[in-house]
Amino acid sequence: MPKVSDEYLVARRSGILKAALRCFSRNGLHATSMKDICRAANLSPGAVYRYFEGKERIIEALAKMVGERIHAFLAATAEEEITTDTLADRLAALCQALDRPENLETMRLYVVLWGEGLRLPGVRRSYLRGTARLRRTIAELALAAQAQGDLDRDLDPRAVSRAFLALFEGLALQKVSHPELDLGPTLGAARAMLAGVSHGPA
């Protein structure tokens, strides 16, 4: 049998994850079987098991993938000036991305994985690693804003990062629960809250 390329292996694995995401979004985690995933990926069970030992490993991989997608967006800030408006823009852009059907499907799974993390240690580890990376990135943004005098220096950047993540995850949960929800007014309120901590109490 000819040796396949690394690119082929990566593409095949990605295809399985995409098929699993569709199945989980349509039928839920527990009602979806490996047979369903194989059928959706148009692969034999042997081909799928070559990449994943079972459904739990697929769930763990999806948890990691979702966290990496969100982190990649936040990390794309490079060297631009960081202000509280910048932080608010990050939050707004993340939430606006939820309006795209493919992202809403991903976030629906992300919300489900919160609960699965209480049951499956591997999923919990993936989630905790992902959120730790997110918090570090946001804390770095907060530190940069403090260095530029645009954020209260008395604030703990780690606390800022947790508050930011809580806002995003809370809004994501509301959007997943109510897809018709207009996040615009809520994001306006979040922006005002961030502006209120720019330079500390009067």
Q: Would you list the DSSP string of 107-139?
A: HHHHHHHHHHTTT-HHHHHHHHHHHHHHHHHHH
Whether residue 200 has pLDDT greater than 60: no
CA-closest candidate to residue 142, choices 133, 152, 132, 129: 152
163 burial class (0-12, 13-18, 19+ CB within 10 angstroms)? middle
Of residues 6 and 45, which shows the higher confidence score? 45
User: How far apart are alpha carbons 193 and 112 in whole angstroms?
Assistant: 28
User: How far apart are alpha carbons 53 and 42 in whole angstroms?
Assistant: 18
Whether residue 168 has pLDDT greater than 50: yes
Whether pTM exceeds 0.75: no
Whether residue 113 has pLDDT greater than 60: yes
Q: What is the pLDDT of residues 47-104, one digit of tens each?
A: 999 999 999 899 888 888 877 777 676 665 444 555 667 777 777 777 777 667 667 7
Q: Which residues contact 39 (CB under 8 A, 6 or more apart)?
A: none
Other C-beta atoms closer than 10 Å to the C-beta of 32 total 20
User: How far apart are alpha carbons 172 and 174 in whole angstroms?
Assistant: 5
Residue 50: alpha-carbon gap to chain centroid: 27
The pLDDT score that the predictor gives to residue 1 is: 47
Contact 91, 164 (CB under 8 A): yes
Q: What is the pLDDT of residues 6-42, one digit of tens each?
A: 788 889 999 999 899 888 878 878 889 999 999 999 9
User: How far apart are alpha carbons 122 and 52 in whole angstroms?
Assistant: 13
